[in-house]
Amino acid sequence: MITHTDESTSNELRATLESTEPDCLRTKTTSMAVLAKSEGSYHYTPEGRKLADFTSGVLVANIGHNPKRWWKRVLELMGLDNLDADGDFLPAVTLTSYNAVTEVEMEANRRLLENLQAQPGGSRMEQVLWAASGSEAIQKGLWACLARREGEDIILATRGGFHGKKGLAGAVTGSEDDPERDPRVRFISFPKEECASIEKRREPIDLTPYREELEALKAEYGDRLCCLITEPYLGGGGSYHPHKEYMQMLESFCRENDIIFILDEIQANFGRTGSMYAFSEYGIEPDFVALGKGMGNGVPVDAIVGRSDLFGVMGFGAGSDTWSAHPLGCASVIATLEEFEKDDIMGQAAGLSEIIEEALVRLTELPAVTAVRGEGTVWGIEFAPLGELSADEVAHEVVLRAYLGNVEGKAIHLLGPLAGKVIRIAPPLNMNHREAREYFDVLHGMIAGM
């Protein structure tokens, strides 16, 4: 069990965790932070220690934790701001609306589609199929693709991606190494080597081998090719951000061969990569886009959005489930969209992106860091072996040191490493710029002291 000195309350809660939940519920971390409260870009432990959040709660709190105006709007949309003369709550919006419709759901549909269609590349965003998780959104999108035409059953997915752990979402995650993987899935190469660092990503890319690979699959499977799914960047796979030309090449192949193009933006949507949606940043126009995480700013809500003709092939009930389009989730989406409209969050994110890049490039001067890569406000630090420590052990040590803080008590919350040796940096888009510089200096000091 993980314990830390001077954290009696947190250690008691960690002991309860040890006895009441299996390890498989969480990814491996050396900090096992216990979070009592969160506000803006910070978490607070039960002991009152302040942690700068460099994770946004795994790319969720894009506009910060518990923004007051956002919460007020969510409660208003749910009717929870209405009191009678005695101070009691008046009837509010239902929390569950299975096989029924609520006004807040219809408003969320309207506002989300309006926002998507206003972005470059968003013209195919015609209908919303809500989901209760990212995996479920991917699953529903793939169901729609497979239902379009009989005999079209081959799904192409980029190798090393992460789309979820359940069903078809799990089948298109990772690689062909799993011998029991769904036989309808074929993996294509992702240019990890060409974008292994920000310097390499700025060099021209030779797309010939990737195009040849696609053409070979077309020659082998012909009209059986159904759809192609990819991410704007490999998040869980180690934070690899491809050249825009690669993404545009995938789209062109799909258009030429009438293959449905799916972009999994669950980790990228709502401003994370530099544009409101990554498809605009990459200059592409997908048929389906999977949305989640930052869309609800902490409330679980996901969706697959796209062409109405593709959704139309599925009959009643084929995409239903208990929690899809739940009113609280829909209210959170509306409130989040409104925050982007009221404040210059994208402008704040652009300035923060420059600060992050400058700070992380500086880290590459240290022997513990092999490379940094990223865009917008989502980056990865790849670590190197150091002394007797492997690269993976160095990454875990950085997570621990960041949590424990420096001699001045400044601490940082980081997630356990991705793909073993990569730590993700993804603070809220509107983190204060002065404070961001201050905490990146703290992180530099911690790594330099190893």
- Check whether residue 241 and residue 256 sit in a common domain: yes
Task: Please write the tens of the pLDDT for every residue from 121-170.
Answer: 999 999 999 999 999 999 999 999 999 999 999 999 999 999 999 999 99
- Check whether residue 272 and residue 379 sit in a common domain: no
Give the dihedral sign, CA 171/172/174/178.
positive
pLDDT at 91: 86
Please check whether residue 160 is in contact with residue 237, taking contact to mean a CB–CB distance below 8 angstroms: yes
Domain boundary among 290, 324, 342: 342
Task: Please write the tens of the pLDDT for every residue from 234-261.
Answer: 999 999 999 999 999 999 999 999 999 9
CATH number at residue 246: 3.40.640.10
In a domain, 317, yes or no: yes
In a domain, 251, yes or no: yes
In a domain, 432, yes or no: yes
Per DSSP, what are the bridge partners of residue 89? 83
pTM: 0.96
In a domain, 146, yes or no: yes
- Check whether residue 173 and residue 31 sit in a common domain: no
What percent of the chain is predicted at pLDDT more than 90? Answer: 95
- Check whether residue 349 and residue 317 sit in a common domain: no
Check pLDDT > 80 for residue 83.
no
Domain boundary among 309, 342, 375: 342
- Check whether residue 236 and residue 256 sit in a common domain: yes
Beta-carbon contacts of residue 113 (< 8 Å; ≥ 6 apart): 125, 126, 127, 128, 305
- Check whether residue 258 and residue 236 sit in a common domain: yes
pLDDT at 315: 93
Distance CA 241, CA 258 (A): 26
In a domain, 93, yes or no: no
pLDDT at 218: 98
Q: Tokens 């310097």, residue?
A: 199
Mean pLDDT score of the chain, rounded to an integer?
96
Task: Please write the tens of the pLDDT for every residue from 170-226.
Answer: 999 999 988 888 999 999 999 999 999 999 999 999 999 999 999 999 999 999 999
- Check whether residue 307 and residue 366 sit in a common domain: no
Check pLDDT > 90 for residue 88.
no
In a domain, 305, yes or no: yes
- Check whether residue 55 and residue 203 sit in a common domain: no
Structural domains counted in the chain: 2
Name which of 250, 285, 290, 251 is nearest 270 in CA terms.
290
- Check whether residue 309 and residue 170 sit in a common domain: yes
Section 35-64 average pLDDT = 98
Distance CA 244, CA 249 (A): 9
- Check whether residue 307 and residue 359 sit in a common domain: no
Domain boundary among 342, 357, 379: 342
In a domain, 387, yes or no: yes
Task: Please write the tens of the pLDDT for every residue from 256-271.
Answer: 999 999 999 999 999 9
Reading the block at residue 92, the tokens are: 């509010």
In a domain, 253, yes or no: yes
CATH number at residue 433: 3.90.1150.10
- Check whether residue 348 and residue 335 sit in a common domain: no
pLDDT at 180: 83
- Check whether residue 295 and residue 363 sit in a common domain: no
Check pLDDT > 80 for residue 94.
yes
* Residue 72's pLDDT band (cuts 50, 70, 90): very high
Section 334-347 average pLDDT = 97
Cα-to-chain-centroid distance, residue 399: 20
State the pairing for strand pair 154-158/225-230: parallel
SS3 218: helix
pLDDT at 179: 80
Distance CA 352, CA 122 (A): 26
* Phi, psi of 11, rounded to the nearest 5 degrees: -65, -35
Distance CA 423, CA 398 (A): 9
Q: Give whole-number Cα distances, 156 to 148, 171, 364, in Å.
A: 16, 11, 35
* Residue 408's pLDDT band (cuts 50, 70, 90): very high
* Residue ranges making up the domain that contains 373: 8-60+344-448
SS3 365: coil
What percent of the chain is predicted at pLDDT more than 70? Answer: 100
